[in-house]
Amino acid sequence: MPLSFAAADSPSLPLYLLPEGASEVAFSALSKSTRLWAEAQGFTGALGQTCVLPGPEGAPVGALFGLGTLAARARGRFHLARAAEALPEGAWHLVGDLSPTEADEAALGWLLAGYRFTRYKSAPALKARLKCPDGVDATRLEVLANAEALTRDLINTPASDMGPDELEQAFFALAARHSATATAVRGDDLLAQGFPMIHAVGRASPRAPRLLDLRWGSAGPELTLVGKGVCFDTGGLDLKPAAGMGLMKKDMGGAATVIGLAQMIMALHLPLRLRVLIPAVENAVSGNAFRPQDILTSRKGLTVEVNNTDAEGRLVLADALAFADEESPDLILCMATLTGAARMALGPDVPPFYTDDDALAGALAKAAARAADPLWRMPLWQPYEPLIEPGIADLDNAPSGGMAGSVTAALFLRRFVTETKRFAHFDVYGWQPTPAPARPKGGAGQGARAILAALPVVLGL
């Protein structure tokens, strides 16, 4: 069911937004009986507190929601989503002083709180619906929320039902919805058409590897999105332990995120030319699996020594990035669940990104703050370049030593983008490990809203 706001003309109840220790001025808008009821219920305005207000006959006539302190709000985001989960059925409208950015975040958080993954088990729908606050673009937020729901659905679906075939089906369905064109190069055709590393990583699986290619738009700057689509990662012959394999259905999180971002761009009719490339593979184990110390020749002609078959994501991305780079688009963005090193450095909530372009980095940082979609710039540290040069080949896919793993992965990918002036790589996690407001445990899009918000500045739209 699409995530949407209550109809603008529907009757609704007020939800009063009150900070902790609200002043008499703030409470003066409420009746004396309401204030006494709130005090009796222990309502103090602490962050996340919800107090339903009964009418003379017991039916709700409104509610209070605690905004807490500025310091408390700074420790999280989408706080109003807690009210969405706690309030009784019906339509609600907000009463309180919110800046445009705060109103935008509050409304989006409410929509995202309505997400349910119901493919395998039913779940009760969110009962409380929000009327979009004045000054907030309801259509835009509904597009963002439903694109995030698509990303979550793709990641949450287990590999038994989300292999390269099914990811391709979702990709082609996206193209059909938005009158885009989509093509796929599959199996041994990858060798014939010059994608040897995508083929090498995926050839051990009975589910054929492929490169998916979508194009949309006929005018404006050209944006190419590249997403890692490893639908399940066993680690290959460098087999992961069971604990390391437990979340590998999410290893296509980069692909799922660029699919969601592409849906946003097309649904909002941004004036640009969009291309999406997804290498979709399963890194499996069989007699023809690629091996440690194999040397692969990439589409770009660079040779790569495989020192860990579990560092396969950068191999499939390298061929896709080289293909994207051949057109010299205005901007290439790469998104991938690439390294555990990124999680060790920044945790699950804050994806690092890498770019040599200071203006692009600044635009992304500002947009991330506005969109409540955190990102953090990390360095493409030139002195680490020798770490990815093994001597026997041009590049090493898994430098020894275990340090700076996310940085060296980004440096590796940058070697395949030489013709395009503007490039950024995002090392996302794609998963919410514990429930949080508007973010249930499970698949999560990261960075897409920040990128969307930055595009007008970056591309001059």
Mean pLDDT of 361-373: 98
Q: Is residue 33 scored above 70 in pLDDT?
A: yes
**pLDDT interval class at 57 (50, 70, 90):** confident
Question: Residue 399: its pLDDT value, please?
Answer: 92
Mean pLDDT of 243-266: 98
Neighbours of 58 (CB within 10 A): 7
**Helix (H, G, I), strand (E, B), or coil: what is residue 135?**
coil
Question: Residue 29: its pLDDT value, please?
Answer: 67
**pLDDT interval class at 22 (50, 70, 90):** low
Question: Residue 28: its pLDDT value, please?
Answer: 66
Are 221 and 461 spatial neighbours (Cβ–Cβ below 8 Å)? yes
Question: Residue 129: its pLDDT value, please?
Answer: 97
Mean pLDDT of 43-58: 92
- Using the structure block, give the residue that is written with the tokens 């219920």: 41
- Report the candidate in 52, 48, 51 with the shortest Cα–Cα distance to residue 81: 48
Mean pLDDT of 270-293: 98
State the Cα angle at 125 between 122 and 131, rounded to 5°: 160
* CB-count exposure of residue 225 (10 Å: 0-12, 13-18, 19+): buried
Question: Residue 332: its pLDDT value, please?
Answer: 98
**pLDDT interval class at 26 (50, 70, 90):** low
Q: How far is C-alpha 228 from the geometric centre of its chain's CA atoms?
A: 12
Mean pLDDT of 276-291: 98
Q: Is residue 222 scored above 90 in pLDDT?
A: yes
Are 414 and 425 spatial neighbours (Cβ–Cβ below 8 Å)? yes
Q: Is residue 298 scored above 60 in pLDDT?
A: yes
Amino acid identity at 429: Y
The whole-angstrom separation of Cα 320 and Cα 303 is 15
**Residues near 228 by beta carbon (within 8 Å), at least 6 away in sequence:** 251, 252, 253, 254, 255, 278, 279, 313, 316, 317, 334, 335, 336, 337, 338
Q: Is residue 23 scored above 60 in pLDDT?
A: no
Question: Residue 215: its pLDDT value, please?
Answer: 98
Mean pLDDT of 84-104: 95
**Helix (H, G, I), strand (E, B), or coil: what is residue 224?**
strand
Mean pLDDT of 314-343: 98
**pLDDT interval class at 34 (50, 70, 90):** confident
Question: Residue 93: its pLDDT value, please?
Answer: 97
Question: Residue 32: its pLDDT value, please?
Answer: 83
Mean pLDDT of 330-341: 97
Amino acid identity at 420: T
Question: Residue 427: its pLDDT value, please?
Answer: 98
Q: Is residue 123 scored above 80 in pLDDT?
A: yes
* Token pair listed for 146: 């439903």
**Residues near 120 by beta carbon (within 8 Å), at least 6 away in sequence:** none
The order of strands in the sheet holding 90-95 is 50-54, 60-68, 13-19, 90-95, 128-130
Mean pLDDT of 258-274: 98
**pLDDT interval class at 356 (50, 70, 90):** very high
Mean pLDDT of 187-202: 98
**Helix (H, G, I), strand (E, B), or coil: what is residue 399?**
coil
Are 68 and 48 spatial neighbours (Cβ–Cβ below 8 Å)? yes
Question: Which CA distances in Å does 412 have to 144, 235, 277, 281, 314?
Answer: 32, 19, 18, 20, 8
**Helix (H, G, I), strand (E, B), or coil: what is residue 278?**
strand
The whole-angstrom separation of Cα 382 and Cα 227 is 25
pLDDT cut 70: percent of the chain above it: 98
Question: Residue 1: its pLDDT value, please?
Answer: 76
What are the catalytic residues?
240, 314
The whole-angstrom separation of Cα 24 and Cα 32 is 12
Domains of the chain with bracketed CATH: 13-136 (3.40.220.10), 143-459 (3.40.630.10)
Cα-Cα-Cα-Cα dihedral sign, residues 425, 257, 352, 71: positive
Residue 50 φ/ψ region, left for φ over 0, alpha for ψ in the -120 to 50 degree band, beta for the rest: beta
- Report the candidate in 348, 396, 393, 400 with the shortest Cα–Cα distance to residue 374: 348
Mean pLDDT across the chain: 96
The whole-angstrom separation of Cα 195 and Cα 192 is 8
Q: Is residue 316 scored above 80 in pLDDT?
A: yes
Mean pLDDT of 419-440: 98
The whole-angstrom separation of Cα 362 and Cα 7 is 38
The whole-angstrom separation of Cα 308 and Cα 290 is 10
Neighbours of 110 (CB within 10 A): 32
